[in-house]
Structure 1
Amino acid sequence: MTTASKKPAGTGRDVTSELAFLIHDKGVGTTRISQILGMDPKTVRRYARAATADGLIVPPRSQHSPLRRFQSYLNERWNKGCTDRTRLYEEIRALGYKGTDRTVRRWLEPLRSSAAPAPKVSDVPSTRKVTGWITRHPDNLTSDEALRLKHLLAHCPELAAAVERVRDFAVMMTNREGHRLPEWIAATEVTELAPLRGFASNLRKDLAAVTAGLTLEWNSGPVEGHINRIKMLKRQMFGRAKLHLLRLRILLNTSRR
């Protein structure tokens, strides 16, 4: 085998990943492979676990870029003949863009080097964004968010059914209407949404506790606070002392309160 100091010249990422996969498939450990190929062990593990080349592709960061919601506008203006970066930057700033001119320049660079028209940017909201729209109180949604959610629900009956169940449960939590829990479980168990059916069925296993949690004003917050405090004291010791010292620190810390 070739040592790390004699790594084959001209080896691209695809060839290197194939080598890592083949060697790992023979039972060689990742540490030894990293020494053979002169690679970081984390990279070797990523190459070895990737079933295809697509598994090595890093998702684009532009999904969370401040430019994200203005990309469609920029492409549309570009296709209409406006290729002045400064002018486009000023236009989207007037629309609420908070990013830098440099980000706009980077977005426009591929368009300048291509003769084809700028592609249409998909305006489909992410799963995380839709989840936020569903779980937030309707009064806290902007008019644009409420309109987009309404459009989604009109085209997806399953999602509309999920929203109805989720919001009804939220009303129970907010108004402490635990007496309605059996009714909510019965209505949810007959829906066509398997995850919600499973959630509702599991609530029956500890119905009294869940009902109390949805009815009474008390909660487990103070208990969780004490647990977090004990964990903090334990981490401060860095494993250099045993249980008897941790016990003394907890008692001493409590007596000072």
Structure 2
Amino acid sequence: QNLLKSRLAHRKSREEIFRTISALRQQGLTCSEIGRRTGFPRRSVAKWLQFETPPDRKRAVLKRSSAWYFEEYLKQRWENGIRSGNALLPLIQERGYEGSLSNLQRLLAGWRRAEKQEQEGPTKEDQILALVRDPETGHAISPVIAAALCIKPRGKFTSEQARKVEVLKEGSPAFTTMRRLAMRFNGILRGRKADPLPAWIDDAIETDLAPIVRFARTLNRDIDAVRNAIEMEWSNGQAEGQINRLKTLKR
């Protein structure tokens, strides 16, 4: 069941991309222009446009060294309550399995994660990892771009960046929370007033978003130094610069 959900999600993603490519084609765009807008190679775009529905990806032929070769049998045993890799290994070895225990364990670990997520629902960490798709291109907004937009002031956005930020806010509550905290922290640094910092640290820790929590706890461990860095005009930047210069000369 979990595997079926994964495959359905993958198919839905391919259908969204196919619709985007088809819509751009109907606007009169060439394959090269569609490729530039979507990020797909021109040949891939041309191939997709030959079909009326998204083409299925050809799955590699499974071998007996792969635990997936015995997927149906393993699912039956899994549903019957046999879920230990050590217990399942001899059962599929009797049927010709030539792979290792670790190979089997990786398959089972994926099933366990999917089952746990289904029972508990998405975690805050899942919210961070979940990709948000740009509706205009059908492509997922990369974590690198999302991170850059998260810390960039709104006044410096291009129209394209502003649109992507709105898409990210709608699709990711975690992004909204992190951007709000990032802008508050930026305001503390620019204002050169450390008084709001403890409240910011408390709010950051309460989000339960692992990257933000780690950063906030690191600040809290050395809070006096952070306060001084915010409020004092002195910096060791000149010293560090000279050290780097000397290192460069020595090389």
What TM-score does the superposition give when structure 2 sets the normalisation length?
0.50
Q: Which has the larger radius of gyration?
A: 1
Query: More relative contact order in 1 or in 2 (CA 8 Å, sep 6+)?
Result: 2
